[in-house]
Amino acid sequence: MTKIRIAIQKAGRLNQDSLSILKDCGISIDNGKDQLKASARNFPLEVFYLRNGDIPQYLKDGVVDIAIIGENVLIEKGAGIEVAEKLGFSRCKVSLAVPKGVKYEGLAYFEGKRIATSYPHTVQTFLREKGVNADVHIINGSVEIAPNIGLADGICDIVSSGSTLFKNNLKEVEVMLKSEAVLAVSPKISRQRREILEKMQFRIQSVLRARKSKYVLLNAPNDRLDAIVSLLPGMRSPTVLPLADKGWSSVHTVIDQDTFWEVIDELKQAGAEGILVCPIEKMVL
């Protein structure tokens, strides 16, 4: 039986988030400790656990068909690789940082300076577009120490919370790009495996929609029902059912997580009562 081959990060946060979304898609993986390859029990899928930086080449060579990988790694090493889906987790920035004591007034600071990074292509492309010439030093590992030991005047690295920069007496001065986990596709994927990918994407999209939404039930007085319904940005239109108590209705709808609290405040002001909010496991359209 044909199986689609997916690469995910061998260890770390992206590994856990990748396994989590596969689990939410109903895909059960027989996964032993320190295994580098595993199969799903209930879906035609093989999982390869690889070093993050190696995944783009495996995709290019067709060793794996798809991968869950940081968008920043694709930008650095995966030119020409298709992104099938943005997954919304493992968000970070790729930024330039300098020592805290430096008076930074703009990108001109980096003219002729030394920048330590493990993202040389990303840095060079960014600076070239901005008309800045700098000396890029490639470091695989902890680049934050480079300014402290006199190896560089600044660094380019991933920034999540900023705590690592703070601990190393650095400050973020330019955000070059924003990144999140994506589902990437090999240019050599076969037609049969593309069909399996489409089934998998359908599941992933259902999970992602659910993660971004809340199911809301509320009670509304009938004389204010039209005003309350007008506030609801549901998938199509809300469900309205009569309550045993005359003059009242129960309204069911879905609200986007990003606007959730604003909508709830408006609903309360319009007269909604007994608002119940539930998580959604899957949302199939």
Q: What is the pLDDT of residues 73-82, one digit of tens each?
A: 999 999 889 9
Q: What is the CATH number of the domain that holds 244?
A: 3.30.70.120
Domain identity same for 229 and 103: no
Q: What range does the domain containing 37 cover?
A: 4-90+180-210
Burial 105-123 (b: 16+ CB within 10 A, else e): eebebbeebbbbbbbbebb
Q: Does residue 272 sit within a domain?
A: yes
- Average model confidence (pLDDT) across the chain: 92
Which pTM does this prediction carry?
0.85
Domain identity same for 86 and 187: yes
- CB-facing half-sphere around the CA of 50: CA atoms within 13 A: 21
Confidence of residue 32 (pLDDT cuts 50, 70, 90): low
Q: How do residues 189-214 score in pLDDT, each as one tens digit?
A: 999 999 999 999 999 999 999 999 99
Q: How do residues 111-148 score in pLDDT, each as one tens digit?
A: 999 999 999 999 999 999 999 999 999 988 788 889 88
Confidence of residue 188 (pLDDT cuts 50, 70, 90): very high
Domain identity same for 55 and 86: yes
Question: What is the H or E stretch that residue 238 is in?
Answer: none
Domain identity same for 80 and 184: yes
User: Which whole number is the average pLDDT over 244-254?
Assistant: 92
Q: How do residues 2-25 score in pLDDT, each as one tens digit?
A: 999 999 999 888 999 999 999 999
How many domains does the structure of the chain reveal? 3
pLDDT of residue 160: 84
CA distance 242 to 88: 38
225 has a pLDDT exceeding 70: yes
Q: Does residue 102 sit within a domain?
A: yes
